[in-house]
Structure 1
Amino acid sequence: MRLTQRLTVPSAMLPKAWFLVLVLGLFVQLTGLLFNSDGSRYATQTYLLLFVPALILLFWQRLSLHTWRQVPGVLFLCLLAWVLASSLFNPGSNNDADYWLKIVLLILLYVFAVASLVSHKRAFTGLLVAVVTLVAVFAWLTIYYQFVVLDKPLGYAVLRHARLYELGWRGLADLKNPIIAGLYYGVFAVLLTYLLVGFKVRAWQAALLVVGMAGLLVYVLFTASRGAWFSTAAGCLAALLLFPNIKSRTLIGLGCLVVAAAVYLFWPEIQHEREIGVSGRDLIWGNWADRLPEFWLMGAGAGADLIFNFPNSNRGFLHAHSLYLQLWYEYGIVGFGLFVLLLLSLLWKGWQCRAEPLARLGLALLVLAMVAMVSDVYAIFHRPSPFWVLFWFPVGILLGVSRHDGKASLKQSAQEKPENAL
C-alpha cells in the first residue's frame, strides 16, 4: 500500500451541483460560527449544506475507497472505529452508542468533504480567500467595536482580565471562550500566510493581505491566550518555512525584529506571564499521571470526564487540559497510539507531497493544531465546533492531496516559486 497513492477519481467526475453545494457547506461550517449565536441554527445549516450532500456523494462514489486506501486513511478509519468500540464496550463512556455513531459519521463526512474539494485547487483556493476575507473583517470589526465604540482601555491589566472572544454586538462572533477564539482566528492567520507567500500577488492585494493579517494577529494577541499565541506563531512560521521565497524570508526577518522589539518594550508584562506559569495545568497533569494505572490500557470510556478539583478551592475541571492526555484517558493506549500514528502519517504524507502547495498548507495547519493540543484543546470527538476547524480541516486537506508525477512539478518546487497568481 503506497502512502501517497494518487486519487483515482478525476475531478471532472465530481457532480457539479454537489460540488457547489459542498463549497457552500464548507464555507458555512468554517465561518458560520461568526454569524450564529444559536448553536442549533449553525448545526442545521451545516447538516443541510455539508453533511447531507457529502453523504450522498460518498454513496455515489461507492464509499470513495480511493480516499481511504492510504496509510493515513486507514489509520483515520481505525481511530474512528476504536472510538465507536469504546462507546459500545467501555461502561465508563458518556452517552449511548447511537450518539457516538452519529459523531463518528459526521467526522467521517466532514473529512471526506474537505478531501474531495481539495482536488479542485482553484475553487478550493477561492473558498480560502472568501473565508479568510470574512474572518479578517470580523477580527477588525471586533477590535473596532470593543476598543472604539465601547471605548475599552488598552492597558495590559485590563486586557489580561477582559480577554477578547466576542464582537459584543447582537451575539455576533461570540466564541464563548478566549482560548477557543484565539485558536480559531489563529487558523485563518495561517491560511492568510499561505495566500500571501504561496501565490503571486499584486501590490494592492499584498497590502490587503497585510491589513487582514494585522487584524487577525491583534485579535489573537488580545485573547491573552498563550496557547493560541504559540500555536499561531508555530503555524505561521511553518507556512513561511515551507514556502521559501523572498516574501517568506522578508516576513521571517520582520517577525524577528517585531519579537525583539516586543521583548524590549514589554519585558515587565512578559515576566508577569512567566510568573503565571501554566495556570495550574501542572497540578491537573500530575493528577492524570497519578491515575494512569486506572485507565492506561483500555481508557475510562468515550467522552469520560477527568474530574479534578484544586486543593482548598471550589475550582474544578472536567478534562486534562491537554488533548493528548485526554485522549489517552478516554480511549486508552490503543486509542492514543492510533491518534499519534495518524499524526505521524499525515506529517509524512504532507512532506512526501510537499511539491503541492496545499500539502504544505495542510502541514502548517497541522503544526498549529499539534502545538495547540498540548495545553488547550479538550476534545475533537464531539459535535461541530471551532476545534473541527483547528484539527479535522487540515486532516481532510492532507488526506485529499496527492503527489503528482512529472518533472515539471518537482522542478517548480525546487525553484521555490508560487504556483499561480491569486
Structure 2
Amino acid sequence: MSSIQRLAWASRFSNACLYILGIGLFVQLTGLLFNNDGSRYATQTYLLLFVPALFLLVSRRLSVGLWRQLPGGILLGLCVWVLLGGWLNPGSASEPAHWLKIVLLVLLYVFAVASVVEHSRLFTGLSAMAVAMAAIFAWLTLYYQFGVLGKPLDYEALRFSGRLSELGWKGFADLDHPIVAGLYYGVFMVLATRLLVGLHVRFWQAGLLALGMLGLSAYILLTFSRGAWFATAAGCFVMLLLLPNVKSRSLLGAGALLLPVVLFAFWPEVQHERQVGLSNRSLIWNEWGERFPSFWLLGAGAGADFAFTFPPPADWSVKHAHSLYLQLWYEYGIVGFLLFVALLASLLWKGWKCRAEPLARLGLALLTFAMVAMVSDVYAVFHRPSPYWLVFWFPVGILLGVRCPPSAEKTA
C-alpha cells in the first residue's frame, strides 16, 4: 500500500470514527430519556462513544496536542492524583483497577467531546437534536404528570411530595432524583439559549426553540431544586452576556422586567423557600469543618463516603458533603482540591482567551452552570458515567476542544 493510499485510508477511518462519536455523544446526552434500561444505556454509550473514541485516540497517536495545553496538563495531573489516591490511600472505596477504569473513561469522554467540537457544524447539529429531544420529554413529562396522572398544580403538594424527576410512564426519562433532573435539563436550557441567541434562525425555528425552552423552564422550576434554578439562571445569563446582539439584549430586558412581577406574584412561596434555607446543609458543612484536621492534607481516600447522621428528631444519614468542592477536598486532600481549582481557572482563562469562537462562549456558560451547581448539589465527578458527567465533563471537553484564533494566541 502506497503512502497516499495509507493517508486516504487513515482519513476515511478518522471521519468514520468522528461521525460515530457524534452519534455516541447524542446517545450519551439524551439516552437517559429514551432508554428505560440502565444496562442498555451503558452498552450503547460504550459501543458508540468510548470504543470509537479509543480507536480515534490511538489513530491520532494519543492526540498529544490536546493534552499539551494548560488545562489538558492539569487534567492529566488531577487524574494521576486520583489514581494515586485510589492506590495508596487505605481509605479508598474501591480497588486501584476501578479508579484506573474511571480515569480512562473520563479522559476518553473529554477527548470525544473535544474531537466533535473541532467540527463546529457537527457539534451544533447534534446539540440541536439533543435540545429537541430534551424539550420533547420535558413537555411529555408535564403532560403525563398533570394531564394524565392528574397531579395538582399546588405549591405545597408539589414542593413536598410531587417534585418532578421522571416521566412516570414505563421508566422513561427517569432521573432518580429531582436535583439530578433539574441539573440535567438545565444543561439543555443553556444549550437552547445558545441556539436561539447565537445562531441565525428563522421565525418558525425561533418559535419552536422558545416553546422548547418554556417546557424546559417549567420542568426545572417544578423540580424545586434551587441549586438547578441558580445554576441554570447563571449559565443562561452568562450565555446572553457573551452573545451581545438584539435578541440577547431583548431577553435580558424582558427578564429584568418580568422578575419583579414574578417575585410579587409568588412572594409567599419565595418567603417559604427562603425559610427552607440550605436544607440542613449547614449542619453537614459544619461537620466537614470539624473533621478537617483529619483529612485536609492527603484526603480520606478516593470515593470515601462523608458519612453524617443528622441529630434527632431528623435521625437520617447522608454519604457525601453536599458540595463537590468540599467532597473533593475530603476525598483527595489539598493537592486534589488545588488541582481541581487550577483546572477550573485554566478552563475559564482559555474560554475567555478564545471568546471570539462561539463554542468557547458556550463552554464558558456551561462551566459557569457547573461551578454554581457544584456549590451545593453535585457529589462526584470521578465515578461511572452519569448525568453529572453532562454537568461537568461536557463543558470541560468543549473548552479543551476549542481552538483559539491565532490573534488570541499571540496576545495571551
1:241 paired with 2:252, answer no
1:332-371 correspondence runs (5 A): 332-371=333-372
Q: Which residue of 2 aligns with 1:5?
A: none
Alignment partners' CA distance in 1, 2:289 and 2:407: 50
> What 5-or-longer segments of structure 2 have no aligned partner?
1-9
Alignment partners' CA distance in 1, 2:244 and 2:359: 15
1:96-115 correspondence runs (5 A): 96-115=95-114
Alignment partners' CA distance in 2, 1:270 and 1:152: 22
Report the alpha carbon displacement of residue 404 of structure 1 after superposing the two structures with TM.
Answer: 1.7
Q: Which residue of 1 aligns with 2:380?
A: 379
Report the alpha carbon displacement of residue 148 of structure 1 after superposing the two structures with TM.
Answer: 0.6
1:82-97 correspondence runs (5 A): 82-97=81-96
Report the alpha carbon displacement of residue 357 of structure 1 after superposing the two structures with TM.
Answer: 0.2
Alignment partners' CA distance in 2, 1:14 and 1:236: 37
Q: How does the TM-score come out when normalised to structure 2?
A: 0.95
Report the alpha carbon displacement of residue 326 of structure 1 after superposing the two structures with TM.
Answer: 0.1
Output the amino acid matched with 1:273. Answer: E
Report the alpha carbon displacement of residue 350 of structure 1 after superposing the two structures with TM.
Answer: 0.1
Report the alpha carbon displacement of residue 38 of structure 1 after superposing the two structures with TM.
Answer: 2.2
On the 8 A contact 2:131/2:192 being kept in 1, the answer is yes
Output the amino acid matched with 1:151. Answer: G
Q: Which residue of 2 aligns with 1:390?
A: 391
Report the alpha carbon displacement of residue 14 of structure 1 after superposing the two structures with TM.
Answer: 7.2
Output the amino acid matched with 1:391. Answer: F
> What 5-or-longer segments of structure 1 have no aligned partner?
1-10, 411-422
Alignment partners' CA distance in 2, 1:113 and 1:13: 17
On the 8 A contact 2:166/2:173 being kept in 1, the answer is yes
On the 8 A contact 2:146/2:153 being kept in 1, the answer is yes
Alignment partners' CA distance in 1, 2:400 and 2:75: 10
> Paired residues, what number?
398
Alignment partners' CA distance in 1, 2:71 and 2:368: 16
1:144-223 correspondence runs (5 A): 144-161=143-160, 162-223=162-223
Residue identity over aligned pairs, in percent, reads 65
Report the alpha carbon displacement of residue 296 of structure 1 after superposing the two structures with TM.
Answer: 0.1
1:400 paired with 2:405, answer no
Q: Which residue of 2 aligns with 1:81?
A: 80
Report the alpha carbon displacement of residue 15 of structure 1 after superposing the two structures with TM.
Answer: 1.4
Q: Which residue of 2 aligns with 1:327?
A: 328
Output the amino acid matched with 1:401. Answer: V
Deviates more, 1:176-185 or 1:13-22: 13-22
Alignment partners' CA distance in 1, 2:156 and 2:366: 31
Report the alpha carbon displacement of residue 12 of structure 1 after superposing the two structures with TM.
Answer: 6.6
Alignment partners' CA distance in 2, 1:276 and 1:109: 40
Residues 1:257 and 1:94: Cα distance change in structure 2 (over 3 Å): same
Alignment partners' CA distance in 2, 1:310 and 1:398: 40
Alignment partners' CA distance in 2, 1:358 and 1:309: 43
Q: How does the TM-score come out when normalised to structure 1?
A: 0.93
1:28 paired with 2:21, answer no
Alignment partners' CA distance in 1, 2:372 and 2:258: 22
Alignment partners' CA distance in 2, 1:365 and 1:160: 27
Alignment partners' CA distance in 1, 2:288 and 2:12: 49
For residues 176-220 of structure 1, the C-alpha deviation after alignment (integer angstroms, 9 at most, x for no partner) is: 000000000000000000001111111111111100100000000
Report the alpha carbon displacement of residue 260 of structure 1 after superposing the two structures with TM.
Answer: 1.1
Alignment partners' CA distance in 2, 1:57 and 1:86: 29
Alignment partners' CA distance in 2, 1:170 and 1:218: 22
For residues 218-258 of structure 1, the C-alpha deviation after alignment (integer angstroms, 9 at most, x for no partner) is: 00000001000000000000000000111000001111222
Output the amino acid matched with 2:272. Answer: H
Report the alpha carbon displacement of residue 406 of structure 1 after superposing the two structures with TM.
Answer: 5.9
Alignment partners' CA distance in 2, 1:139 and 1:61: 39
On the 8 A contact 2:32/2:175 being kept in 1, the answer is yes
Q: Which residue of 1 aligns with 2:52?
A: 53
Alignment partners' CA distance in 2, 1:331 and 1:84: 10
Output the amino acid matched with 2:77. Answer: C
Q: Which residue of 1 aligns with 2:311?
A: 311
Q: Which residue of 1 aligns with 2:6?
A: none
For residues 290-331 of structure 1, the C-alpha deviation after alignment (integer angstroms, 9 at most, x for no partner) is: 000000000000000001000113210000000000000000
Q: Which residue of 2 aligns with 1:420?
A: none
On the 8 A contact 2:295/2:330 being kept in 1, the answer is yes
SS in 2 for 1:291: helix
Alignment partners' CA distance in 1, 2:288 and 2:349: 30
Alignment partners' CA distance in 2, 1:261 and 1:179: 26
Residues 1:60 and 1:12: Cα distance change in structure 2 (over 3 Å): closer
Residues 1:388 and 1:111: Cα distance change in structure 2 (over 3 Å): same
Alignment partners' CA distance in 1, 2:110 and 2:169: 33
When the two chains are superposed, the root-mean-square deviation of aligned CA atoms in Å is: 1.4
